[in-house]
Amino acid sequence: MLTTKQYSDMKAKIDKWQSKSDKLQGIIEEVLKNLKSEFGVETLEEAQELQAKMRRQYEKAETQFTSEYENFQEKWESMLS
């Protein structure tokens, strides 16, 4: 059987964790709200998919830029030196 002190201690711990849980839930809701307003996604899964898509687009653009830059250097190297 729990003593009054044990009960009070346990209740205090539960209240503390409930408060932390509530704060974290608020943070999650705020992040999802920001994702929706800034990127038009509703869920974390949609955000991850969008991030992967944007990363692929970035990598493609970077590769294309590097290729174009190398071509430019080859074509105009003599004039740039």
Kindly state the helix (H) or strand (E) to which residue 10 belongs, with its residue range: helix 4-39
Alpha-carbon span 62 to 79, nearest angstrom: 25
pLDDT tens digits for 24-60?
A: 999 999 999 999 999 999 999 999 999 999 999 999 9
Looking at the chain, the whole-number percentage of residues with pLDDT higher than 70 is: 100
Contacts of 41 (CB under 8 A, 6+ apart): 35, 47, 50
**Looking at the whole model, is its pTM more than 0.85?**
no
- Do 32 and 43 touch, CB atoms closer than 8 A? yes
The total of other beta-carbon atoms located within 10 Å of residue 50's CB is 14
